Amino acid sequence: MKELNSSALFARKALLPSGWHDNVRVLVESGTIASVSTDADPAPSDEHHQIILPAMGNLHSHAFQRAMAGLAETRGPSDDSFWSWRNVMYRFALTMSPDDVEAVASQLYMEMLEAGFSRVGEFHYLHHSPDGNHYSNIAEMAERVAAAASATGINLTLLPVFYAHSDFGGLEPVEGQRRFINSLDSFERLMVACRSLVAKIDGAELGVAPHSLRAVIPQELLAVTSMSGGGPIHIHIAEQMKEVSDCIAWSSARPVEWLLDNAPVDQRWCLIHATHMTEIETARMARTGAIAGLCPITEANLGDGIFPGQIFCEQGGRVGIGSDSNVLISLNGELRQLEYSQRLRLQARNVLAAPGGSTGRNLIVSAVRGGAMALNAESGIEVHNSADMLSLNLTEVPYLEDDEILDHWIFADGVAIDNVWVQGRRQVVAGRHVARDKINRRFLTTMQKLVRR
């Protein structure tokens, strides 16, 4: 049985689902928000903070790729592209041991917490040993990811990835993909193991992730989605123009068009990237209720393209954000890049806000809601939700109020994360994770070995 621990936070301001409120007292019991009082008086033992917000889910991560952050920014002999980046990524993936992955994931999840993320959706596909054989425990690598989540205190939504082919039409996988590949039988065994792993971790959730339309054939897509057990279903889609033209060559349909015609896409689905869509595809996808899992920093880094955000949001589409390749971990940076890419494309300002509304607030509120839906976990400062919150430090901008604070946090540089709580436990204090030194020492030893081997 869980130990019953109880604590209370008192904030001068808090962003609740109903909007801004003053003098908010949040009572936390056993990791869950037990009560929220507004216009309240603090009790003598309350912790005091200036402003608290809901923490956010990071809906798309490949943890091992954090090891290559900044190491693929040298131009090759000809034009560089996503596909040459992917070759570097495969080489990295083939060198990492389970210990290496755990050390890198721990550093990454610590950085996510420091950035204001309280949950990670780990789109986990580095499953097998470097020679492609299964580890004796088929979930060895998933256990290392889960160990990193537990060590840092971040909530985990584990999304085991089914990956079987190298391209449309069921082509054989290539050598560099050997650590990712499963049959439907071995994937089912992996899912069983992951289900019991997740059941042992407070607040953890399980979903499923057919990697992409390149990596699964239609029968496999349906078989894998039927293994979701009611959890979320994530898939990479329409990230690159080559993928769109290859999909058309294979099926005469564009990737999102094909998926909407052939799979039961609904609000349990999260379509990662969905960058290249026609207006019709964009409106159709919005109507399904599926989340668009946007990774604006990675999409910019890889030269993917720009998500049709204005049309999607006008049609009632829901979005969340992820850090994908983990080249840079920044919650406000992802939201800024999302809005700025729209501005550059449309030559307009404040694109992803309602008329008269704050862009920063709309981005944060949308991404909190979309991230929660995509990761199968409620969020927001509300009774019964996990006590996942952050406080901001306004020392440099004490003159700001309400939405100005959010706009400044997203677009300027005077607001910093102060504390982050996950399940009521304070994992970040004054901007630093409570176990930063130990986690970082292990990461540096691992990186020295990986990069200089």
Binding residues for Zn ion (CB under 5 A): 324
Marked catalytic residue, from 60, 62, 304, 324: 324
Kindly state the smallest distance separating residue 357's Cβ from Zn ion, in Å. 31
CA distance 213 to 211: 7
Compute the least distance from the CB of residue 75 to Zn ion, in Å.
Answer: 23
CA 415 to chain centre: 22
- Dist CA 60 CA 361 (whole Å): 22
The dihedral over CA atoms of 15, 18, 22, 23, expressed in degrees to the nearest 10, equals -90
Q: What is the DSSP string of 54-94?
A: E-EEEEEE-GGGGGGTTSS-S--SS---HHHHHHHHHHHHT
**Among 194, 200, 190, 205, residue whose Cα is nearest residue 119:** 205
- Residue 100 falls in the annotated catalytic set: no
Q: Which is the catalytic residue, given 49, 273, 408, 433?
A: 273
16 CB burial (10 A radius; 0-12, 13-18, 19+): middle
Least distance to Zn ion, CB of residue 237, Å: 10
Decide whether 26 or 209 has the Cβ nearer to Zn ion.
209
Comparison of 324 and 339: residue with beta carbon closer to Zn ion: 324
Rounded Cα gap, residues 286 and 292, in angstroms: 9
Residue 136's SS3 state is: coil
Q: What is the CA radius of gyration of the chain?
A: 21
Closer Cβ to Zn ion, 28 or 244, answer by number: 244
Nearer to Zn ion, 65 or 182 (CB): 65
Judged by beta carbon, residue 102 or residue 324, the one nearer Zn ion is: 324
Q: What is the maximum alpha-carbon separation in the chain?
A: 68
Contact assessment for residue 203 and residue 155, using Cβ atoms and an 8 Å cutoff: yes
> Taking a C-beta distance cutoff of 8 angstroms, is the pair 34, 27 a contact?
yes
Distance in Å, CB of 101 to Zn ion, minimum: 16
Q: How far is the CB of 324 from Zn ion (least distance, A)?
A: 5
Burial 213-240 (b: 16+ CB within 10 A, else e): bbbbeeebbebbbebbeebbbbbbbbbb
Rounded to 5 degrees, what angle do the CA atoms 97, 436, 360 make?
Answer: 105
Nearer residue to Zn ion within complex by CB, 324 or 403: 324
Q: Under a CB-based contact definition with an 8 Å cutoff, are residues 388 and 422 in contact?
A: yes
> Apex CA 389: angle with CA 112 and CA 295, to 5°?
40
Q: In the annotation, is 388 catalytic? A: no
Nearer to Zn ion, 324 or 334 (CB): 324
Supply angle C-alpha 251, 255, 258, rounded to 5. Answer: 60
- Compute the least distance from the CB of residue 293 to Zn ion, in Å: 9
Query: Is the Cβ of residue 20 or residue 90 nearer to Zn ion in the bound state?
Result: 90
As measured in angstroms, the least distance from the Cβ of 239 to Zn ion is: 8
Minimum Å distance from CB 405 to Zn ion? 31
- Residue 77 to residue 267: CA distance in whole angstroms: 44
Gap between the Cα atoms of 105 and 383, Å rounded: 31
Name the β-bridge partners of 210.
Answer: 162
Please give the residue whose beta carbon sits closest to Zn ion in the complex: 324
Positions marked active-site: 273, 324
